[in-house]
């Protein structure tokens, strides 16, 4: 098949642009909306771009077809504002392929096989705001490739094979605010970034960066977010972040950092910090002292982390979410700080066996995860049952749940659910319970106990004498007592775990929500449904004595 250059085809196609829109034809497998001038051809098995559509269309979606190149068809549609040719088989984009699209604002070329761009590829796209070239085969971006794109704000080059980007790839005074370079092969921050004074988001995760020097990041006064996770960084210079003082989100996870970079402390406006999956061994108390606006901290998956120093978050009053999970050598946690704003706490899958009752503002938490730790279930940890229930009862979610906490020590209760475990503790310590009562209180308690014992002994003696008198009178006229009379509840009403259905009336007054686990009749247990505890209202006490029966059938 003979293909003519676009420059020769263009004059030949001009007469066709004058055809009335009533002659427009919508190909099989496409959807054409003449009111909003929107055409969608998804997975329509098209190999050639359609030329018979309404010339006035504004949106053209051609995803999941079999195009190999961008042909002259686009010259039929000068009114286009959005074009999506993602997930095709494009291997090239000819020069001036979109020269007729003077109104085009968004161009999506994601998921193709484009391996080369020239300084004429995007000629004519003076109004283009967003360009997506992610998941292609690009290895380098030469000088002036994006120079025609004067209005460009968002540029996505993620998922290519980029090793080099020319410093002059973008026009002088570029207005790009979002640049995505993730999943490439870059070994340093490309110099093209230096001219982006309007840049707000810079994504460099999963490249091959090894060092962040004092000159790696130029002065970017508007930068709010930078992702550097998944690289090979072993070192970050203490002045590495001096040019990005306005940073609010910093991702450094999955690198080779052995300590939290000193330069992080200079980011006074930082709100979110991710440090997980690094070979950190220790988090020092001064690490976050100057970061008074921190709202989220994630230090998860650090295999070598053994110590978090006391009061490490003492100045971080705005901290909202704390994730310290999957650190298999972290066996203890000291008091971390006031944490007055903390709502979400994840301490799962560490090596914790005990926690301090004063570790967190338990009553204010909306979510908590303590699962996957080798807990020692004793009186010193029994307060956790109360705290887990507090989280459930105070959560704003209608279907609040908390992952189950199971015992590891002592061995006889290994695998038991902490919520069900009965511990013979006279005092359940909590943040408001003193660990050692005053001596005077103990003396009074001992005296009271002795008096009660003497009184009860006297009552037993009197009762036995009266019973002996009664037996002499009754003799053998009464038969044996049935087992049914011994029970304090009828046999057919033995307490069992049940799942209360939605909007079920309990005790004629209390409405309960869906999925709550209770004990029938009239009792409930704080027990796990599958692997989560579910919230339940406070137990309604009755005046009648109850026989506690906690084993499930």
Q: What's the number of CA atoms in the CB half-sphere (13 Å) around residue 323?
A: 15
Q: For the chain, how many structural domains are there in total? A: 2
| Bigger pLDDT: 196 vs 17 | 196
Query: Among 40-44, 358-362, 501-505, whose mean pLDDT is lowest?
Result: 501-505
**What is the per-residue pLDDT for 456?**
73
**What is the per-residue pLDDT for 3?**
40
**What is the per-residue pLDDT for 442?**
66
| Bigger pLDDT: 200 vs 514 | 200
- Residue 221 located in a structural domain: no
Domain that holds residue 406: 352-431
- Residue 364 located in a structural domain: yes
DSSP bridge pairs for 402 = 533
pLDDT at 174 over 70: yes
User: pLDDT tens digit string along 386-442?
Assistant: 888 888 777 665 556 788 899 999 999 999 988 888 877 754 444 444 344 555 556
How many Å apart are CA 442 and CA 450, to the nearest integer?
A: 12
pLDDT at 257 over 60: yes
| Bigger pLDDT: 259 vs 434 | 259
How many Å apart are CA 406 and CA 414, to the nearest integer?
A: 7
Query: Among 38-47, 133-142, 360-369, whose mean pLDDT is lowest?
Result: 360-369
How many Å apart are CA 137 and CA 96, to the nearest integer?
A: 20
**What is the per-residue pLDDT for 520?**
35
Let me know: does 53 contact 78? Beta carbons within 8 Å: no
**What is the per-residue pLDDT for 441?**
57
**What is the per-residue pLDDT for 313?**
95
How many Å apart are CA 276 and CA 255, to the nearest integer?
A: 9
Query: Among 49-63, 264-278, 355-369, whose mean pLDDT is lowest?
Result: 355-369
pLDDT at 2 over 60: no
**What is the per-residue pLDDT for 457?**
74
**What is the per-residue pLDDT for 468?**
54
Read off the tokens for 370: 């303590």
How many Å apart are CA 173 and CA 502, to the nearest integer?
A: 61
Read off the tokens for 397: 């979610």
- Residue 465 located in a structural domain: no
pLDDT at 76 over 60: yes
User: pLDDT tens digit string along 338-381?
Assistant: 999 999 999 999 999 999 999 988 888 999 999 999 999 998 88
- Residue 81 located in a structural domain: yes
Q: What's the number of CA atoms in the CB half-sphere (13 Å) around residue 399?
A: 5
pLDDT at 264 over 70: yes
- Residue 426 located in a structural domain: yes
How many Å apart are CA 381 and CA 83, to the nearest integer?
A: 60
- Residue 62 located in a structural domain: yes
| Bigger pLDDT: 49 vs 526 | 49
Query: Among 249-258, 347-356, 459-468, 522-531, whose mean pLDDT is lowest?
Result: 522-531
**What is the per-residue pLDDT for 529?**
37
**What is the per-residue pLDDT for 424?**
78
| Bigger pLDDT: 219 vs 497 | 219
Q: How confident is the model at residue 202 (pLDDT cuts 50, 70, 90)?
A: very high
Mean pLDDT computed over 3-20: 45
**What is the per-residue pLDDT for 466?**
62
Let me know: does 82 contact 62? Beta carbons within 8 Å: no
- Domain endpoint, select from 56, 89, 122: 89
How many Å apart are CA 496 and CA 549, to the nearest integer?
A: 8
**What is the per-residue pLDDT for 428?**
42
Read off the tokens for 471: 């037996």
Pairing of strands 532-534, 528-529: antiparallel
| Bigger pLDDT: 480 vs 442 | 442
- Residue 326 located in a structural domain: no
| Bigger pLDDT: 475 vs 449 | 449
The CATH number of whichever domain residue 70 belongs to comes to: 3.80.10.10
Pairing of strands 140-141, 164-165: parallel
- Domain endpoint, select from 388, 410, 431: 431
pLDDT at 525 over 50: no
DSSP string, 49-100: --S-S-TT-SEEE--SS---B--GGGGG-TT-SEEE--SS---B--TTTTTT
- Residue 419 located in a structural domain: yes
Average pLDDT, whole number, for the chain? 81
User: pLDDT tens digit string along 78-104?
Assistant: 999 999 999 999 999 999 999 999 999
- Domain endpoint, select from 431, 454, 489: 431
């Amino acid at each position: 098949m003979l293909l003519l250059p676009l420059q020769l085809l263009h004059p030949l196609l001009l007469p066709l642009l004058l055809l009335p829109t009533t002659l427009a034809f919508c190909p099989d497998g496409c959807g054409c909306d003449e009111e909003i001038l929107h055409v969608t051809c998804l997975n329509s098995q098209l190999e050639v771009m359609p030329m018979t559509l309404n010339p006035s269309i504004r949106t053209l979606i051609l995803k999941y077809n079999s195009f190999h190149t961008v042909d002259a068809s686009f010259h039929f549609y000068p009114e286009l504002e959005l074009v999506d040719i993602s997930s095709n088989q494009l291997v090239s984009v000819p020069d001036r392929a979109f020269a007729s699209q003077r109104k085009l604002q968004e161009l999506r070329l994601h998921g193709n096989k484009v391996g080369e761009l020239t300084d004429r590829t995007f000629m004519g796209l003076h109004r283009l705001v967003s360009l997506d070239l992610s998941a292609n085969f690009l290895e380098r971006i030469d000088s002036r490739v994006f120079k025609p794109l004067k209005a460009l704000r968002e540029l996505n080059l993620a998922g290519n094979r980029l090793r080099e980007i020319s410093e002059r790839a973008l026009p002088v005074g570029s207005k790009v605010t979002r640049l995505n370079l993730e999943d490439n092969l870059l070994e340093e921050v490309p110099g093209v970034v230096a001219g982006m004074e309007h840049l707000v988001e810079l994504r460099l995760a999963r490249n091959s960066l090894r060092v962040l020097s004092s000159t790696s990041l130029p002065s970017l006064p508007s930068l709010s977010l930078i992702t550097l996770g998944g690289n090979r960084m072993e070192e970050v210079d203490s002045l590495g972040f001096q040019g990005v003082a306005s940073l609010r989100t910093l991702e450094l996870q999955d690198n080779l950092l052995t300590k939290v970079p000193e330069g992080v402390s200079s980011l006074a406006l930082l709100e979110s910090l991710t440090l997980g999956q690094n070979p950190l061994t220790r988090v020092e108390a001064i690490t976050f002292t100057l970061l008074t606006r921190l709202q989220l901290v994630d230090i998860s998956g650090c295999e070598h982390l053994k110590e978090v120093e006391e009061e490490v978050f003492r100045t971080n009053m705005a901290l909202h979410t704390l994730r310290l999970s999957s650190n298999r050598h972290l066996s203890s946690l000291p008091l971390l700080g006031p944490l007055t704003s903390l709502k979400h706490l994840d301490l799962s899958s560490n090596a914790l066996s005990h926690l301090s009752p004063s570790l967190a503002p338990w009553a204010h938490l909306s979510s908590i995860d303590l699962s996957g730790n080798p807990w020692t279930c004793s009186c010193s940890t029994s307060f956790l049952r109360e705290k887990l229930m507090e989280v459930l009862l105070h959560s704003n979610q209608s279907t609040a749940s908390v992952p189950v906490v199971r015992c590891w020590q002592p061995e006889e209760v290994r695998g038991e659910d902490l919520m069900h475990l009965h511990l013979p503790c006279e005092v359940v310590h909590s943040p408001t319970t003193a660990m050692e009562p005053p001596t005077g209180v103990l003396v009074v308690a001992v005296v009271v106990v002795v008096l009660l014992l003497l009184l009860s002994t006297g009552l037993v003696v009197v009762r036995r004498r009266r019973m002996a008198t009664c037996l002499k009178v009754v003799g053998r006229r009464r038969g044996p007592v049935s087992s049914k009379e011994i029970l304090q509840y009828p046999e057919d009403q033995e307490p069992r775990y049940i799942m209360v259905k939605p909007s079920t009336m309990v005790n004629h007054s209390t409405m309960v929500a869906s999925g709550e686990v209770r004990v029938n009749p009239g009792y409930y247990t704080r027990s796990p449904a599958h692997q989560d505890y579910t919230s339940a209202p406070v137990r309604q006490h009755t005046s009648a004595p109850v026989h506690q029966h906690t084993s499930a059938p």
